[in-house]
Amino acid sequence: MRFYTGQHRYYCGIDLHARTMYLCILEQESGKVVLHRNLRCEPERFLRAVEPYRDDLVVGAECIFCWYWLADLCAQEGIPFVLGHALYMKAIHGGKAKNDKVDAHKIATLLRGSAFPMAYVYPRGMRATRDLLRRRLFFVRRRSELFTHIRMTFHQLNLPAPSAAFHHPRNRIGLADAIPDPVVHANVEADLALAARLDDIIRSLEGTIHQRAKIDDPETYKRLQTIPGVGRILALTLLYEIHNVSRFPRVQDFLSYARLVKSQKSSAGKVMGTSGAKIGNAHLKWAYSEAAVLFLQKNPPGQRLINRLRSKHGRGKALSILAARLGRASYYMLRRNTAFDMERFMN
């Protein structure tokens, strides 16, 4: 958890929505409200409203789906912008009264009191490619749902379910011919047709993202692929979800962000368990979990390591520990601009 501690003469809290935004500007010394105004989400109106206070102003807004344009506008105009972590802004969601005016005032008050929880403002340059990569994952999951539905259809009819992996198009040839019912046959044919279309879309997106990676940061892209088990897709995910490893001062901060370690809850010397398992970057968690499984393929040193971990912790926890170790290794690789070193990793 990081809080914004910058000192300014004016603090602007914004309750942001898709079409409107409520502004509240507080003065630093007295905490007096110098502006309370509801505006449409138009850059010109926003700049006119904050113009008298721009000399020493910071703008804060909660992290919701429509923050991109506001962050980019502030960066273009040289206005400091802080993004609030939605899960940590309890003062807004837990109040007795809640409306746009109250929420904007609370955001400005949190900024003024150095209690504003910060989220990462992903820069504009690589943000669109990161979002495209996430969209690709959405299409992959929809395609997997189609394959699951096809297998369920075979089970419903008590037919032998195909054992081959459906993500290879060659394994889908003639698949619907095994179903005698013409209506169910049409159902499966529709799933196969949509899966084929998704194949083309996913392939096209992967090509676009791959070309962007060679422009944005080709050295890091290649460096990540030196990790055994990390191919193009996992390397792209790590590249665009991490963005800049220097934003994590310590490796512990990075592992926590990637959901690779658990946070302990304790009070008065008593451990109450763990918490925060859902706080962090789910895409990094997925990438390192996949990398831990793929790391073991055709990798005798890795298999010896997992066997030692499994004998002590069990299989599930052993894979989690391996994923955390890969996260730690990749953190130092990116900090030091070095390739993966298996001998050092095993020690």
pTM: 0.91
**pLDDT class for 347, splitting at 50, 70, 90?**
confident
pLDDT of 182 > 70? The answer is yes
- In whole angstroms, how far apart are CA 324 and each of 146, 166, 235, 346? 32, 31, 16, 13
**Could you tell me which of 107, 88, 79 has the C-alpha nearest to residue 14?**
107
pLDDT of 92 > 80? The answer is no
Displacement of CA 209 from its chain's centroid (Å) = 16
Measured CA to CA, the distance from residue 167 to residue 190 in angstroms comes to 16
CATH topology of domain 3-121: Nucleotidyltransferase; domain 5 (3.30.420)
What's the chain's average pLDDT? 94
Phi and psi, residue 21, nearest 5°? -150, 135
- 259-294 pLDDT tens trace: 999 888 888 888 888 877 788 999 999 999 999 999
Provide the pLDDT for residue 100: 93
pLDDT of 303 > 90? The answer is yes
- 39-74 pLDDT tens trace: 999 999 999 999 999 999 999 999 999 999 999 999
Provide the pLDDT for residue 163: 82
Helix (H, G, I), strand (E, B) or coil at 164: coil
pLDDT of 305 > 90? The answer is yes
- 9-34 pLDDT tens trace: 999 999 999 999 999 999 999 999 99
Q: Is the dihedral of CA 271, 255, 315, 344 positive or negative?
A: negative
- 312-327 pLDDT tens trace: 999 889 999 999 999 9
B/e letters for 317-327, b = 16+ CB within 10 Å, e = fewer, are ebbbbbbbbbb
Provide the pLDDT for residue 91: 65
Mean pLDDT across 78-101: 85
Provide the pLDDT for residue 266: 84
Contact 3, 117 (CB under 8 A): yes
pLDDT of 186 > 90? The answer is yes
- 129-160 pLDDT tens trace: 999 999 999 999 999 999 999 999 999 999 98
**Could you tell me which of 153, 135, 232 has the C-alpha nearest to residue 191?**
153
Domain extent listing, the chain: 3-121, 126-216, 224-266+274-346
Helix (H, G, I), strand (E, B) or coil at 13: strand
Measured CA to CA, the distance from residue 45 to residue 49 in angstroms comes to 6
pLDDT of 96 > 80? The answer is no
